[in-house]
Structure 1
């Protein structure tokens, strides 16, 4: 009797295990199936790809950025490079038999291989007629010429440049330096060397995943919150003695600015003004503004994007608030997010959804999918955006951003010099930042630049932005 009871319990146990296995497999198929099938490390996908001509990736003007060339019976992916380094490496990515894929090559793999649900009939006909399958092409929003300009302007320094059209959200340039040669990923020793280089981190896309204190470039965000919540009126003035004391902590400014109002404080980058007004704004107001500008979000761009972060709740005291208000403290933001925040000022308070892929096309050029511009967020009001823009124009005309001036063009800009000193690196130079747009009253391009540990934003980042903005305006 006892044996029957034990057998019965064992049967129930096995039945439960069997049911759990069915549920788990169902979950994998229904919920995770798509992700696992298209995962860059999926060897079945790699084996299937061997018999397909992978689609070509073009820039916005038809320049080939990646294509498949056939060597005998095998296809080899070939990427556009410059002196054995690709300025497009972090965006376009790579396809490797050993290491999978990355960038748009990974996220648009099914389209490039022609393996979407819409391609099922075409793939069946290819089998019936014994034709070699060919995937779809991608037409990107990137401008290869502008990408090269930004790459050359960085001149090998660690940093990033993002340029976009504020009216559409199209990303015109996205450069991360240093980069790598996408054609050499599978060569002996290359992968391990790239991964071992922790100081330069060439595989890191600094444009979207770099986490930097934004310094005074962040004042366009804080300033928007101050004006929107009316903690200060634009004409209200304070006296800047060159420092501010918060809870006994003396926070130094770049100099004594004397009597300043909002426009002058933004143009001359007065930390004292933004620290004092940021304290009035409060943590609730700063966090709300941060979120309104989408700095805490990751837009669906097709490549990984790190959301920006403020200090965790345990560290949100008044000193941290004062420093965070002018882009220091624990604030960390990517260049893409700063470009999007700047585009809100350029576009009357509205941030358009950023995108990198303009069209997915058949080999004959017929578009099967076109990305339409759409609003992502409303960050602030047109009135507030206009006031911040006025301060940014003043910054270029007679303030800290004057090295970004372009002859014959009104430019709006804001520099940032973000301190990076730590106990371990007390002599570390600051990150150089610039965000801006041109022409100021009819913006065609927004640019964000960061150069790691290189000095002041005015001296280092603003001239790079000037080159990129001028190229975007005059080489169309």
Structure 2
């Protein structure tokens, strides 16, 4: 009996191990196979790539942005517009791997699916015998090129998107780099060590104090808390717990309402609003709009920061004018602006419009989902009217476009150099047009560009004008 019991125990142990292995392999196949397949250390991936003509990448209108060609017995990835798309499409290098869209959609570009992972490898030749899928981005090449031209080498970012669909129309970052394989190998070390951080996609990963563009959210919170019709006394400066906060050039605006305060970007009024609203209102509006949250996107995107565990009156006042510890990405500011333009609904940003077979037949259309409601539609409508006033008679008057209604908000953000009087502030502008039926929303930041109206506004105006005239 003892021997039979031992045999049964051994059989149970063996069967248990068998089922554990089967379960683990099933889990890998169902849930992790694509991750392992896409891993740059996977040698099978290299073999598949040797025998696959990597798919092309196009803009939304069919402009060719990336393709592969044979150089001797090896494929070379060609980027016709050089550095312009280095922070969007990225690079594909045998030495340094892949980045951005080239990495995120590697399987699609190689035509890899569950069956091809098992049966799709062909050996014995360096010449491609398979064709990968093509990608169509949501990017409008004309806008992307214009954004690069307008930044003109200055550090910063330009984001343009359709507020109703979440489609990214332009995603420009500067400085950038030549993604070609040879240039990448030649310049890799110097770029890695560069203080200019050319590999950083400033549009999606750069974190900046939002300055007065953040007042859009404080305005929403003020309206929601019944402060819309209050009249404020603006004497040019306000002292909160021994901290003096001033308007630009210490201008005093006298008695003004909330609409005028936003149009003139009164730091005095918004610092006061911040202390009145309190931390609970701040946490509520920033949570709704996605601060401290991972936002789904096709390429890496940094989380915008509102890292307060407690806030005294000085913290509240500084945060209300977009300073203190508040940090945001240009893409996130474009999304928030789009949320206002879209009646209070923020859309998930999308960069890839569709995937198509090599023969051109559409394989899969990709659409964004709603991320959620960031404010009620009536609140969004009131802010839209206020943002129109910013452009009609306020700090954003240079963003006005003849025959088109524009809503916007300028921002001037202190930085690590400006506080020491060693450089200008960062220049911001966010806006959308036409204001009544928005087709495009933009966010522009120019590092050390000075006031928002000085550097960012002219860029945003040109981007909106270009798109709406097409």
Task: Indicate conservation of the 8 Å contact 1:417/1:432, yes or no.
Answer: yes
TM-score (norm 1): 0.89
Q: Any idea what SS the aligned residue of 2:87 has?
A: helix
1:73 pairs with 2:69: no
> Where do 1:200-279 residues align within 5 Å?
200-230=196-226, 232-233=227-228, 235-254=229-248, 255-279=251-275
Residues 118 and 367 of structure 1, relative CA distance in 2, 3 Å threshold: farther
In the superposition, relative to structure 1, how do residues 420 and 279 fare at CA in structure 2: closer, same or farther (>3 Å)?
same
| Residues 298-352 of structure 1: CA deviation (Å, up to 9, x unaligned) | 32211001111113315x2220111101111110000000000000111111112
Determine helix, strand or coil for the equivalent of 1:239. Answer: strand
Instruction: Tell me the SS of whatever aligns to 2:103.
Output: helix
Query: 1: CA distance between counterparts of 2:26 and 2:368?
Result: 35
* Distance in 2 of aligned mates of 1:125 and 1:189: 32
Distance in 2 between residues matched to 1:390 and 1:273, nearest whole Å: 19
Matches of 2:155 and 2:259, distance apart in 1: 32
What is the CA–CA distance in structure 2 between the aligned matches of 1:295 and 1:309, rounded to whole Å?
A: 6
Q: Give the secondary-structure state (helix, strand or coil) at the position aligned to 1:313.
A: coil
Paired residue for 1:174, among 160, 168, 171? 171
| Map 1:107-126 → 2, pairs under 5 A | 107-117=104-114, 123=120
Partner deviation per Cα, 1:51-108 (whole Å, 9 max, x = no partner): 1110000000101111011123221110122xxx421111111101111100010000
* Distance in 1 separating the partners of 2:398 and 2:152: 18
Indicate which of 316, 322, 327 corresponds to 2:317. Answer: 322
Native 8 Å contact 1:160 1:174 kept in 2: yes
Which residue does 1:9 correspond to in 2? none
Report what 1:332 is aligned to.
327
1:41, distance to aligned residue in structure 2 (A): 4.7
C-alpha distance 310-120 of structure 1, shift in aligned 2 (>3 A): closer
Matched, 1:435 2:430: yes
Shift of 1:241: 0.8
Q: What's the TM-score, normalizing by structure 2?
A: 0.90
Matched position secondary structure for 2:350: coil
Partner of 2:364: helix, strand, or coil? strand
Q: CA RMSD in A?
A: 2.6
Matched residues in 1 for 2:334 and 2:438: separation?
13
Where does 1:386-465 land on structure 2 (aligned, <5 Å)? 386-421=381-416, 425-465=420-460
Counterpart-to-counterpart distance in 2, 1:346 and 1:220:
12
2:357 aligns with 362
| Cα distance between partner residues in 1 of 2:90 and 2:418 | 36
User: Are the counterparts in 2 of residues 96 and 185 from structure 1 also a CA contact under 8 Å?
Assistant: no
Q: Say which SS state the counterpart of residue 331 (structure 1) adopts.
A: coil
Distance (Å, rounded) in 2 between the aligned partners of 1:317 and 1:183? 51
Decide which of 449, 461, 464 is 1:469's aligned counterpart. Answer: 464
**What is the CA-CA distance between 1:168 and the residue it aligns to?**
0.8
Matched, 1:154 2:151: yes
Match runs of 1:182-201 below 5 Å: 182-184=179-181, 187-198=184-195, 200-201=196-197
CA distance in 2, matches of 1:169, 1:188: 35
Equivalent pair of 1:40/1:102 in contact (CA under 8 Å) = no
* In structure 2, C-alpha distance between the alignment counterparts of 1:114 and 1:178, rounded to whole Å: 32
Contact 2:407 2:432 in 1 (8 A): yes
**Structure 2: runs of 5+ lacking an equivalent:** 1-13
Aligned-partner SS, 1:437: strand
Partner of 2:5: none
Q: How far does residue 237 in structure 1 lie from its aligned partner after superposition?
A: 0.7
Superposed displacement of residue 216, structure 1:
0.2
Change (3 A) 1:143 1:131: closer
1:391 offset after TM fit, Å? 1.2
Aligned match of 2:8 = none
> CA separation of 1:49/1:184 partners in 2, compared to 1, >3 Å: closer, same or farther?
closer
In 2, are the aligned partners of 1:41 and 1:99 still within 8 Å (CA)? no
In the TM superposition, structure 1's runs of 4+ consecutive aligned residues that sit over 3 Å from their partners are 21-34, 40-44, 118-127, 184-189, 421-426
C-alpha contact (below 8 Å) 1:80/1:86 kept by paired residues: no
**Alpha-carbon contact 2:412-2:450 (below 8 Å) kept:** yes
Secondary structure of the corresponding residue to residue 462 of structure 1 = helix
After TM superposition, list the pairs within 5 Å mapping 1:120-139 onto structure 2.
Answer: 123=120, 132-139=129-136
Q: Could you say which residue in structure 2 is the equivalent of 1:91?
A: 88
Q: Cα deviation per residue 1:200-243 (whole Å; 9 max; x = unaligned)?
A: 1111000000000000011111111211232x12x211001111
